[in-house]
Amino acid sequence: MKIEARYYKTVDHDTLQCILCPNLCVLKNNEIGSCKTRQNIDSKLYQLFYKMASSIAIDPIEKKPLYHFYPGSKIFSIGTVGCSFHCMFCQNYSISQFTDIHLEQIDEKEIFEIMKENKINLLAFTYNEPFIWYETVYDISKYLKEKDKNIKIVLVSNGYINSKPLMDLLPYIDAINIDLKSFQNDFYKNFCDGKLEPVLQTIRTAAKYIHIEVTTLIIPTLNDSEQEIRAIADFISSIDQDIPLHISKYYPYYKLNIPPTSTDTILKLVDVAKKSLKYVYSGNISSKDDSTYCTCGNKLIDRHGYNAKTIGIKEGVCMDCGEKIYGKF
């Protein structure tokens, strides 16, 4: 099912420019954008997969990952196809880089009923890039918010969106995890077909209005230096040192065959980032302590894998020292 896109402008009689994301694709009639989801059809831009899902699941919220947003909760998760990036190491490339797969038409009323039947108040747009599914995300989020003010909407995103559509959507979003893939523009250019600065700007903007956590996948020889993780941590800290950072282990996927990141490297970089940030977590490794601690040493959230229980927080503050803890609990 297709629907006219919200953000585009006319260049000439048969040419349009999409202005949803910084790719700013210029499309003649019948041409499809870089994201593979937007097409110029008779001089109108259409989103080709409106309310069409490739993946539907109920996940632990820790899987997003979000560690400071209703820990221990289940979250209804949906995604479609396509992406504004073409990352050589994408773990979901079968849906982000290809569109010729089975898709299921979804309906916001049905989603609402499923969530209520399962006593779930959290919905995530995830698996592929939600911003390129903008019209679906906007309409479903708005509907659910109007039906029940207690429903919370989450995005798991690359952060690649222009300012106007971001600001229009944020009133209906409660939390976001943004992949900050590197602090090098050349990395974004060479391995993702993107740019760094728009992602940084999305992080800055989102942090003003909603709950945010950041994830960086560490790839050996490409973004695994202490200098780079220090730059990432310092950037996040310049916004708010309470923003959680997830430092995740890379495994070979798609077009990149570099060997996996060592666990020792991940743990070393976690320690580096902790010099600037209060909450830093390792991801995709076993035999680690995932729990959340206050600066006073009190255990706040007991976490083992995807199982989490809040034990040391009451009304948003540490039960031992009274420090306010970043997040929603």
CATH of the domain at 183: 3.20.20.70
Asked if residue 225 and residue 125 are part of one domain, the reply reads: yes
Contacts 24+ apart (CB under 8 A), 105-110: 105/1, 105/51, 105/52, 105/53, 106/51, 106/52, 106/53, 106/56, 106/78, 106/140, 107/51, 108/51, 108/139, 108/140, 108/143, 108/144, 109/143
Is pLDDT of 225 > 70?
A: yes
Query: How wide is the angle at C-alpha 327 spanned by C-alphas 324 and 329, nearest 5°?
Result: 95
pLDDT greater than 90 at residue 305:
no
pLDDT per position as a tens digit, 73-122: 999 999 999 999 999 999 999 999 988 899 999 999 999 999 999 999 99
Which letter does DSSP use for residue 171 in this model? G
Query: Does the pLDDT at position 286 exceed 90?
Result: no
Predicted confidence (pLDDT) at residue 152 exceeds the cutoff of 70: yes
Q: Are residues 208 and 326 in the same domain?
A: no
pLDDT for 99 equals 83
Tell me: do 77 and 180 sit in the same domain. yes
Would the CA dihedral through 77, 79, 85, 87 be positive or negative?
positive
List the helix and strand counts (H, then E) for the chain.
8, 21
Q: In terms of domains, do 22 and 140 share one?
A: no
* 180 in the same domain as 265: yes
User: For residue 1, what are the contacts with CB-CB under 8 A and spacing of at least 6?
Assistant: 49, 50, 51, 52, 105
263-273 and 226-239 are packed helices; what angle lies between their axes, rounded to 10 degrees? 40
Dihedral class, residue 240 (left if φ above 0, else alpha if ψ from -120 to 50, else beta): beta
| Mean pLDDT for the chain overall | 97
Using the predicted structure, report yes or no on whether residue 288 has a pLDDT greater than 80: no
Predicted pLDDT at 287: 67
| Structure-token match 């695994």, residue found | 224
Pair (320, 208) in one structural domain: no
Look up the pTM and report it: 0.97
Does 138 share its domain with 38?
Answer: no
Residue from 211, 224, 230 nearest 61 by CA: 211
The whole-angstrom separation of Cα 195 and Cα 138 is 25
Residue 89 and residue 255 in contact, taking contact as beta carbons nearer than 8 Å: yes
Distance of CA 89 to the CA centre of its chain: 16
> In this structure, are 169 and 313 located in the same domain?
no
Q: How many domains does the chain have?
A: 3
Question: Which is it for strands 15-18 and 26-28: parallel, antiparallel or unpaired?
Answer: antiparallel
Give dist(CA 168, CA 165) in Å, integer: 5
41 and 69 in a single domain? The answer is: no
Q: Fill in the amino acid letter for 101.
A: I
- Whether residue 72 is found in the same domain as residue 210: yes
Residue 100: predicted pLDDT: 87
Structural domain for 35, as ranges: 3-47
The residue out of 273, 288, 303 marking a domain boundary is: 288
Same domain, 278 and 165: yes
Alpha-carbon distance values, 233 to 81, 104, 280 (Å): 31, 39, 9
Question: Residue 186 CA to chain centroid, in angstroms?
Answer: 21
Q: At what angle do helices 197-209 and 226-239 cross, to 10 degrees?
A: 40
Give me the mean pLDDT over the 185-210 stretch: 99
Instruction: Answer yes or no: do 114 and 9 share one domain.
Output: no
**For residue 206, what pLDDT is reported?**
99
Pairing between strand 55-60 and 313-314? unpaired
